[in-house]
């Protein structure tokens, strides 16, 4: 999807308004190939909204978002933007994996059926191949023995790991995580973070909205602190978490640590 010298994600002055409320006030940032970027910030800071703009679940009101060399949601001809056809948007999304706070597994399908649904139905991979690959992925997230379980038969942590396997089954170039551990019981958080840590090690480009400061410190290449729709501070985990410069970052870190 992208040439080597291009960033995997490039956001330029991204703005988003809900009614009167401007939730993103010009977000500019780059995510390099293989980089893990953690987005921190108080609730309502716009971090989840920004994440959802990257795969066009939310449309943006200003700025540009590129994933690889593709402009998300639009086609630019000269200075004029043309809305993309839903089929083209779907194609862009199919190479961007997303993991949700509430898992959003398909409850009427078993774990393995959840994983193979899109590869078979969207990419047209044969069912046998998809199942073989799906089982590998379930094994990778530690759920080889849960393939035939329905989501309602799995714990929250297991459901979230199936959701990660489901996203990986589309061979995404980029993975978006929207507070993946916020809905989990504390003792189940570790398993999900372990899977994400392995994924980061394997070189996956990841943008993670999270409240897990420890995870951000350990795994992130870049930590971005957002508040009230702007990037307040960005840098290495040490820069942002240990030596924050901005007062808002300092007070946020005091409240969560």
Partner 1 sequence: MADAPKNTEHDIVAKPLRHPGRVVAAVIITVILGLFVWSLVSAKTIDHDVIFKYLFDIKIIQGMGLTVLLTVLSMVIATALATALAVMKLSDNRLLRIVATGYIEFFRGTPLLLQIVFWGYLGIIYPNIIIGLPFTDVVWFNQPTSAVISSFAAGLIALSLNEAAYAAEIVRAGILSVDKGQNEAAKSLGMSGWYTMRRIVLPQAMRVILPPMGNETISMLKSTSLLQVIAVSELYTIANQISSQNLAQIELLVVAGFWYLVLNTILGFPQRSLERKFGRGFETNALTRTAKVGINVGG
| Strand, coil or helix: 149 | coil
| Distance separating alpha carbons of residues 195 and 166, to the nearest angstrom | 13
Is the CB of 123 or the CB of 201 nearer to partner 1? 123
Return the residues of window 47-66 that contact partner 1 according to CB under 8 A.
Answer: 55, 57
Among 34, 44, 107, 214, indicate the residue that binds partner 1 (CB under 8 A): 107
Give the CA distances from residue 199 to residues 1, 140, 142, 170, 177, in Å, rounded to whole numbers and listed in that order.
19, 10, 13, 15, 12
| Site map (CB under 8 A) of partner 1, residues 168-207, x = contact | --x--------------------x----------------
For partner 1 (CB under 8 A), the number of binding residues is 40
Among 22, 30, 61, 117, indicate the residue that binds partner 1 (CB under 8 A): 117
| Site map (CB under 8 A) of partner 1, residues 125-164, x = contact | --------------------x---xxxxx-x-xx----x-
| Strand, coil or helix: 122 | coil
Nearest approach, Cβ of residue 94 and partner 1 (Å): 3
| Residue 181 phi, psi dihedral angles, 5° rounding | -115, 5
| Distance separating alpha carbons of residues 98 and 50, to the nearest angstrom | 13
Q: DSSP letter at 257?
A: -
| 104 scored as a contact of partner 1 (CB under 8 A) | yes
- The number of beta carbons lying within 10 Å of the beta carbon of residue 162 is 26
Taking alpha carbons only, the member of 167, 162, 84 closest to residue 122 is 167
| 73 scored as a contact of partner 1 (CB under 8 A) | no
| 166 scored as a contact of partner 1 (CB under 8 A) | yes
Is the CB of 191 or the CB of 212 nearer to partner 1? 191
Q: Is the dihedral of CA 78, 30, 41, 252 positive or negative?
A: negative
Binding site for partner 1 (CB under 8 A): 55, 57, 86-87, 90-91, 93-98, 100, 102, 104-110, 117-118, 121-123, 145, 149-153, 155, 157-158, 163, 166-167, 170, 191
């Amino acid at each position: 999807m992208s040439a080597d010298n291009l960033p995997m994600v490039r956001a330029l002055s991204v703005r988003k308004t809900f009614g009167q409320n401007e939730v993103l006030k010009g977000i500019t940032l780059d995510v390099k190939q293989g980089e893990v970027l953690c987005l921190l910030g108080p609730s309502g800071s716009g971090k989840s909204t920004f994440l959802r703009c990257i795969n066009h679940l939310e449309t943006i009101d200003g700025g540009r978002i590129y994933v690889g060399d593709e402009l998300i949601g639009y086609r630019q001809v000269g200075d004029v933007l043309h809305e993309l056809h839903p089929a083209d948007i779907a194609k862009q999304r199919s190479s961007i994996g997303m993991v949700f706070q509430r898992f959003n597994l398909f409850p009427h399908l078993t774990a393995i059926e959840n994983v193979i649904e899109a590869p078979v139905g969207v990419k047209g991979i044969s069912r046998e191949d998809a199942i073989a690959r799906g089982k590998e992925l379930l094994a990778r997230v530690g759920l080889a023995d849960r393939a035939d379980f329905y989501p309602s038969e799995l714990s929250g942590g297991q459901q979230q790991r199936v959701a990660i396997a489901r996203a990986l089954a589309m061979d995404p170039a980029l993975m978006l995580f929207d507070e993946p551990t916020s809905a989990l019981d504390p003792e189940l958080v570790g398993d999900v973070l372990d899977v994400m840590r392995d994924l980061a090690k394997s070189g996956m480009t990841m943008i993670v909205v999270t409240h897990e400061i420890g995870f951000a410190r350990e795994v992130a290449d870049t930590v971005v602190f957002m508040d009230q729709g702007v990037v307040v501070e960005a840098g290495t985990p040490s820069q942002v978490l240990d030596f924050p410069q901005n007062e808002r970052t300092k007070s946020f870190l005091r409240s969560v640590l």
